[in-house]
């Protein structure tokens, strides 16, 4: 079973590779990712976070307002457009345990991805789902939410993670 990896692991800074075609191996990996993410617990997970450089993202969350459960996997996700309107929300990351920061991101996005049947799905996403997907798709290009912070704040958080992992 692959485990979560933490900063400063260099795999978190590498670009994930595009998947030529979604097959049994990718589907099984996504199921494993979903399990790791839910047990952690988290709302999103990129394959890089378990040391696999493939463009796979899983998300699972319950909308606070509608109580609707959203759970799916995206293969080769790409953001096609961002709204001009932005929103600031607190973010955390399974690869930076116990670290949180207010991050400004576009409120809505339009994206496309492959599903398990290799069909191209295009959708417009807003709210928490948009936030989670932007965060996870950033992972696929080696970007972490702390990269939106000043270098001072980023370095403090990374030091806290290193200390947390030593004490764990």
- Give the residue numbers marked as catalytic: 136
Q: b/e map of 117-148 (b: 16 or more CB within 10 Å)?
A: eeeeeeeebebbbbbbbbbbbbbbebebbbeb
Euclidean distance between CA atoms 103 and 87, whole angstroms: 8
64 vs 104, more confident: 104
Taking only the tens place, the pLDDT of each residue in 80-102 is: 999 999 999 999 999 999 999 99
| Residue 98, phi-psi category: left (phi > 0), alpha (psi -120 to 50), beta (remainder) | left
Predicted TM-score (pTM) of the model is 0.96
pLDDT tens sequence across 138-160: 999 999 999 999 999 999 999 99
Q: What confidence tens digit (pLDDT) does each residue in 10-60 have?
A: 999 999 999 999 999 999 999 999 999 999 999 999 999 999 999 999 999
Look at residue 125 in the predicted model and tell me its pLDDT: 96
Domain at 10-167: CATH code: 3.90.45.10
Give 69's strand partners: 62
Neighbour count for residue 44 (Cβ, 10 Å): 24
Q: Which two tokens stand for residue 67?
A: 């109580």
For residue 1, pLDDT over 70 is answered with: no
> CA triplet 78, 84, 87: central angle to 5 degrees?
90
């Amino acid at each position: 079973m692959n485990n979560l990896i933490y900063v400063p692991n260099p795999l978190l800074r590498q670009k994930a590779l595009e998947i030529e075609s979604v097959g049994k191996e990718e589907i099984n990996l996504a199921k494993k990712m979903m399990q790791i993410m839910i047990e952690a617990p988290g709302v999103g997970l990129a394959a890089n976070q378990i040391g696999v450089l493939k463009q796979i993202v899983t998300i699972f969350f319950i909308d606070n307002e509608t109580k609707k459960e959203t759970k799916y996997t995206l293969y080769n996700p790409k953001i096609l457009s961002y709204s001009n309107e932005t929103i600031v929300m607190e973010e955390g990351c399974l690869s930076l345990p116990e670290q949180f920061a207010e991050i400004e991101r576009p409120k809505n996005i339009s994206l496309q991805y492959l599903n398990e049947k290799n069909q191209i799905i295009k959708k417009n996403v807003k709210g928490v789902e948009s936030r989670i997907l932007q965060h996870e798709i950033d992972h696929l290009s080696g970007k972490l939410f702390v990269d939106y912070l000043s270098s001072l704040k980023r370095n403090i958080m990374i030091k806290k993670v290193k200390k947390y992992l030593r004490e764990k």
